[in-house]
Structure 1
Amino acid sequence: MRVRGVTLHKLCLVLLFFGLATPVLAEREVHVIAVGRGHQTADYYALPEARVRVDRPGQDVSLVLLDDGILHWKIETTAGTIISEIVRSGPSPKDSKVSLSGIPMIGVQVTGLPLVFRPSGRKFRGLIGAVTDRFGTDRISSFQAAHKANQTSLRVDRVDTTTAGLARDYLSQFSRAYDDLSPDIRDWIETGGGDRPFAVAFDAGGVILTGPTGDRRFPVTPDVPGILLPVTGVYDPATQMIYCITIGAEGFLYSVDVRTGHWAVVTSLDEYDAAGLLYDADNRQLVLTGAFSRPGDIRLFGLDGGRSSVFIPTTGFPGLTDLFDYGNEHGPPLTPLVFSDGWLLLEARAGNDSADPANAQHRLYAVQIATGEVRLLRFGPR
C-alpha cells in the first residue's frame, strides 16, 4: 500500500485505526493470497468479492493479493494489526480493486506476478523469487489459495514455519552427501560421465549408430513388431548390442545385434510408457524410467528374465516440481545415468533449449531401488 494519492484525511484515519504509533514493530511478515474468482454479491453491478481478515496484532504485515483481474479485495484487520503494504497482481491487472477497512487503496497494482494455487511448481518458484526480491526477505510468511472465494473471509492469522517451499533457497536443506555411494556413481558425479563415443538415434525405420568410424544404419526387420512410437536407444560396445524402447499400445524393448543386424524383442512392456533407458553391463539388465506424469516409475529388466521395480511419486523427488508447471503439464524425464550397488543415479533437466544452456535447471538424484530412498545430490544451473 503506497500512501501517494490518499487524501490527508483518509491517511490520518488509517494511521489512527491501525495504531502506527506503536513504538516497536516485529520483523515484516509477507503473506500471499491467491483467488481465482470472487463471490458475487446481490449487487449485480459490483465486482465479485474476496474478503480477507488479518489477525496479526503487533506485527508488521504486507499482503500480496493475486487474482484473475475481476475482483474486489475487501481487507479487514483486528485491533493492533498493522498493514504496511499491499500489492495486488496477477495475469489480468486491469479491473480488480482493493479496499482496506472500507477505504479504497490506490497505487497497489503491480504487473507480472503469476496466479498460482499450490505452493509448488515453476510458476510458484518464480513468485517466491519476485516477492522475496521486492520485500527483501528470505521467505514468505504464508500462502493460501482458493479457486473461488465465498462469503467466509480468508484468514491471515499465523506464520507457516513448516512448508519448506515458502523459502527462497529451500533446496539446500534437502541436499544429501554421496560419499557412501559406489565409486562408479561418485566418479560420474565428479566428471559428468566423461566422453560418450557412441550415440544411438531411433526412428520408425530403425536405428542409426554413430561412432568414431561414422554412422551405421540398422533397418527394422519384419520378424519383430512394428515400431509405433520410438523413444530412445543405448549401445553396449562390449557386447555390440543396441537396445531401444517404444511407447504407445503394448510397447516393446528391442535388441539389435550390430554384427548381424538381427532385431529381437527382449520383452513386451505391457503398456508401460518409458522415457529413459540405461544398460547396466555389470548386472546385464536394462533400467527404464517412466514417461509423462510418472517419471519415478522405475523398472529393471534383466536379460536373464529377472524383474524388479520401484515407484516414487513426482513429489518424492525434492525440487523436481520446480522444473515445470506442476499440475498442468508433464515434467522433464528422469534420465538414468549409472546403476551400481543397488543405487540408481538420475538426472532431470529443464531449459536445455534456452539461449544459454549453461543456465538450464537440473536436479541430480540417487535412488535406492530396494527401499525407494531418494537423495538430492546436486541442483541448480550447471
Structure 2
Amino acid sequence: MKNRLLQFGTLAICTTLTVISSTSIEQILPNNDNTAVAQTAEEGISRQVYQKASPATVTVQTKRGHGSGFVVSQDGLIITNAHVIKPSPSQQENYNPHDFPSVVTVVFADGRKVAADVLGFGRDGLDLAILKIHNQKNLTTLPLAKVGAASVGDRIFALGTPLHTDFKNSFTQGNITRINSADGEIEHDARIMGGNSGGPLLNTQGQVVGVNRAGIGELNTGMNFAISVSQVHSFIAAARRKDVSSIPTIFKPKEKPNPTTISLNGRVINGNLGKNRLIRDNGSFVNLYQFQGRTGQQVVIEMNSQMFNPVLILYQITSDGKHKEVAQGIDKGPGDLNSQIVTTLPEDGVYLIFASSLDPGETGNYILQANTKP
C-alpha cells in the first residue's frame, strides 16, 4: 500500500508540474495570431490612406525642378509650396512678377500631364501657392482635417515626389513629434526628401493635417516640418476671395544700396551709424558714400568717432558693376583708433566708401572727411 501511495503521489506531482509548465509557457510566448491581426490592421490603414490619397497627389514641374502638391477641389485647385515655384537663382535678389512662372506642369499618379495656372502665393512669408487646372469637374480631391485635430503622437503619412520625378507618389509614415504653439507648424519623423515640398501630410483617415515644406539635414534626421492645416484653410479662403500675392513673399529681395554722393573737398560730413539693412559679413552696420575719382589721384579719407571703433574700406566700382577693393583704413596713430585711408586711385571712375564699425552691432555718431593731396 505504501508503494502504491508513493506511486500515486509521484504521478500527481508530475501531472501538477505538467499543468504548471504548460500554463507558464502560454503566458510567456506571444500570441502570434493577435500580433498578425494587429499588423494586418495597421497595413490595412496604410493601404487605405495611400489608395485614397494617391490619385489626388501630384508632381509640380517647373523649368527649375519639381515639387509636390495635392488637389483640393473637383474643379482643379491645387495646393503646393511657394518655394516650389521660383525664379532662377540669379533673379531672386532683384525679381519682378514676370520672373516667376505663370504656368506649371502638373503630373498625376497615372502619368497624365496637364498645365496649371499659378493663381497666387501666401502673404506675409507664408510658404503656400495655389494652382488651377481649367476645364475640370470631377477630379479626386483630398479632404482637409479640422483645425486642431492633430496631436503629438498621432500616426501620419507623407506622400509626394522625392528627389526625382520617377519617384512620384512615394509613401512614408511616422508620428507627429511636436506642434509649434505659435503657428501650429507640425514637426514629424515621416521620411521626406527634396521634392516632397508641397505634398500632403495625412492622418489615418486620409485627411490633410499639413503641407510638407522642409526637413533638417540632407540625409533626413527625422526632424521634418509641415505647415498646419489651419493655415491651409485660411489660404484657400483668401485665394477664393483673390486676396493672395502675385509673387512669393518668402523671398526678400535685397535692397539696392543708395550711396550718398560726396566730393573730395575736405568738407566735414556728420554721419550716424544706425541699424539698417546694409550689414557687413561680420554683422557691422554700413553707411555708403561714393565719389568720382581720377587715375593717379591721391586721396585721404578719415572717419572719427567717440562712440565706436571706426572702419573704412574703399572700393572701385568696375565696368561690370562689381566692387574691387582698393584700400582698407588703418588706425590714425598710437592710441588713436579712428580710421584713415591714404591711397592713390588706380583708374578713372566711381569709388565707394564703406563707413562701418569694427565690432558688430555698434551704432553712434561719426565725422567723415574725404580730400585730395596736393
Provide the TM-score with structure 1 as the length reference. Answer: 0.22
Kindly name which structure, 1 or 2, has the bigger radius of gyration based on alpha carbons. 2
Structure with greater helix share of residues: 2
- Of structures 1 and 2, the one scoring higher in RCO (CA 8 A, sep 6+) is 2
Provide the TM-score with structure 2 as the length reference. Answer: 0.22
